[in-house]
């Protein structure tokens, strides 16, 4: 395998650092953290495991490896700073979604496998919560649960089936309507919902930096401002950066939506962009007018083009979703005025009592999306020394933070080392992913698919 950085990789995405080397926040969450970037890799180095990318996938893998075998030499190379990618920009919902909701997942994978992946997702949520609590990671967690809301009769029927299936498979879900719905949100747009008490919300950028600090405290060497520009998967593998070279027995590509810029997984994991708008802090009266003040659960609508919304600790509303866009030739973007306009209109429609609240922040980030929306974990290369986890399709907060539990036993086994608490290798490890045809067919196909989803939402009144 010979991976080379695409010559125009990030032309329209904002860099993590300004020319004078200071951190440039892209999201509101990143404005809430202090970042002194770690120095870049310089000169020649070697290590046991090199991890490329310091989002949740890379950090959780580094932490799992060091916890299992403190003597391992683990190095992270990060192009910007830890949490510059989706891990520092997302909605902060640690949810159970495995690409799709439970009902759709079971329809696609069958009851046995669908149940297995959802049990794994609950383990992932519990793992993230215990990591935050055990290491006192100050990321403003709120253990509020999560509710999926219906906005039309068709989606209400879908939720009723989802609720019945969740019960059959033994998951704790609560049906919301009338007074029970009112305890979560008072809004005539929402007919009914399902409440799941296990998911939670947090500040995703604080979580990223907290995980980075934890990794460093465990002895992981983190080089920020260090893009991988070329990878040769020999034995050892050689990773080239602008000012240095790193030789590694094993490599983990933890790049998610950015992988295609290195020509890795470029026909199977697409760089799709998702956006969020955020309000000024609500006054107590404004908050009470929404009926959201009692439980503060993270909320999502059961539409094709989902809307998800939550409160921050200072009572701003983060409102995200709607269109998620793939740009021509896989370009990267942080801003899309058309989607910001749609999102703001959807926010105003959903919260009539907040019509005078202004929007203070708008941002976006890159997701890794597979054709079937299920994630991809595995090992590749002629020498089977390149590991990866990606394609969370917009739902990686819980699962990318669990990637270390899934990848580390395989990495350790390949080095002849045992994993103390081995998570069973999930059936989707090393699965085949379907490739997409190149542009313009890819681009036009995705646009047509998105238009169909939007039209169906419109017809159903969702
Ligand atoms: C707007 C938005 C909202 C979202 N909301 C949610 C949500 O509420 N719940 C949920 O579950 N999921 C959500 N997601 C998805 C979730 O954030 C991601 O699935 C998850 O963060 C993926 O983590 P990661 O570590 O795999 O990737 P990333 O966090 O993207 O990390 C990849 C890292 O690789 C680095 N990198 C790239 N190229 C190179 C290179 N050449 N060399 C070195 N480093 C490189 C990047 O700088 C980046 O730090 C959202 C995503 C977005 C964009």
- Going residue by residue through the chain (462 aa), what tens digit of pLDDT does each one get? 778 776 556 666 788 998 888 999 999 999 999 999 999 999 999 999 999 999 999 999 999 999 999 999 999 999 999 999 999 999 999 999 998 999 999 999 999 999 999 999 999 999 999 999 999 999 999 999 999 999 999 999 999 999 999 999 999 999 999 999 999 999 889 999 999 999 999 999 999 999 999 999 999 999 999 999 999 999 999 999 999 999 999 999 999 999 999 999 999 999 999 999 999 999 999 999 999 988 999 999 999 999 999 999 999 999 999 988 899 888 899 999 999 999 999 999 999 999 999 999 999 999 999 999 999 999 999 999 999 999 999 999 999 999 999 999 999 999 999 988 777 889 999 999 999 999 999 999 999 999 999 999 998 888
Strand partners, 246: 45, 239
Q: Compute the distance from residue 242 Cα to the ligand 1 centre, in Å.
A: 23
**Residue 394 in contact with ligand 1 by CB distance below 6 A:** yes
**Residue 91 in contact with ligand 1 by CB distance below 6 A:** yes
**Residue 255 in contact with ligand 1 by CB distance below 6 A:** yes
Classify the C-alpha dihedral 411-414-419-424 as positive or negative: positive
**Residue 41 in contact with ligand 1 by CB distance below 6 A:** no
CA angle in degrees (0–180, nearest 5) for 460-352-356: 140
**Residue 317 in contact with ligand 1 by CB distance below 6 A:** no
316: number of Cβ within 10 Å: 19
> Going by C-beta distance under 8 Å and a sequence separation of 6 or more, which residues neighbour residue 449?
none
Q: Compute the distance from residue 256 Cα to the ligand 1 centre, in Å.
A: 6
**Residue 225 in contact with ligand 1 by CB distance below 6 A:** no
Q: Compute the distance from residue 87 Cα to the ligand 1 centre, in Å.
A: 4
Q: Compute the distance from residue 60 Cα to the ligand 1 centre, in Å.
A: 13
Which structure tokens are listed for 270? 């697409």
Strand partners, 174: 195
Q: Locate the ligand 1 atom nearest the alpha carbon of residue 366 and give its number.
A: 53
pLDDT digits (tens, 9 = 90+) for 254-302: 999 999 999 999 999 999 999 999 999 999 999 999 999 889 999 999 9
Q: Compute the distance from residue 266 Cα to the ligand 1 centre, in Å.
A: 16
**Residue 336 in contact with ligand 1 by CB distance below 6 A:** no
């Amino acid at each position: 395998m010979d991976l080379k950085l695409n010559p125009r990789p990030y032309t329209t995405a904002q860099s993590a650092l300004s020319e004078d080397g200071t951190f440039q926040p892209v999201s509101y969450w990143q404005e809430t953290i202090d970042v002194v970037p770690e120095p870049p890799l310089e000169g020649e180095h070697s290590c046991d495991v090199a991890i490329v990318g310091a989002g949740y996938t890379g950090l959780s893998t580094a932490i799992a490896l060091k916890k299992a075998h403190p003597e391992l030499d683990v190095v992270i190379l990060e192009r910007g700073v830890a949490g510059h990618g989706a891990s520092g920009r997302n909605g902060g919902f640690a949810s159970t979604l495995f690409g799709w909701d439970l009902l759709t997942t079971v329809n696609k994978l069958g009851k046995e496998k669908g149940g297995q992946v959802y049990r794994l997702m609950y383990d992932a949520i519990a793992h993230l919560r215990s990591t935050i609590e055990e290491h006192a990671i100050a990321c403003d967690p709120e253990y509020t649960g999560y509710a999926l809301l219906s906005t039309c009769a068709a989606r209400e029927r879908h939720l009723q089936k989802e609720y019945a299936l969740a019960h059959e498979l033994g998951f704790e879900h609560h049906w919301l309507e009338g007074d029970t719905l009112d305890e979560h949100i008072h809004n005539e747009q929402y007919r009914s919902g399902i409440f799941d008490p296990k998911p939670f919300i947090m500040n995703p950028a604080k979580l990223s930096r907290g995980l980075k600090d934890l990794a460093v405290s465990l002895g992981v060497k983190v080089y920020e401002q260090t893009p991988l520009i070329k990878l040769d998967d020999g034995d050892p593998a050689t990773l080239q950066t602008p000012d240095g070279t790193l030789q590694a027995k094993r490599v983990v590509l933890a790049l998610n939506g950015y992988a295609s810029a290195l020509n890795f997984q470029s026909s199977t994991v697409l760089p799709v962009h998702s956006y969020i708008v955020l309000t000024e802090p609500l006054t107590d009266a404004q908050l009470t007018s929404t009926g959201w003040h009692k439980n503060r659960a993270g909320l999502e609508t059961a539409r094709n083009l989902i809307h998800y919304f939550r409160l921050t600790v200072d009572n701003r509303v983060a409102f995200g979703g709607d269109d998620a866009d793939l740009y021509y030739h896989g370009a990267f973007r942080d801003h899309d005025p058309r989607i910001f306009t749609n999102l703001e209109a959807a926010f105003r429609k959903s919260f009539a009592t907040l019509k005078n609240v202004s929007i203070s922040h708008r941002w976006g980030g890159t997701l890794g999306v597979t054709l079937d929306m299920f994630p991809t974990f595995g090992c590749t290369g002629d020498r089977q020394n390149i590991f990866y986890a990606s394609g969370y399709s917009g739902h990686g907060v819980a699962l990318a933070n669990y990637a270390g539990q899934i990848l580390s036993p395989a990495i350790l086994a390949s080095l002849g080392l045992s994993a103390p608490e081995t998570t069973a290798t999930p059936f989707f490890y090393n699965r085949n992913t379907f490739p997409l045809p190149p542009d313009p067919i890819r681009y036009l196909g995705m646009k047509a698919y998105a238009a169909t989803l939007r039209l169906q939402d419109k017809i159903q009144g969702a």
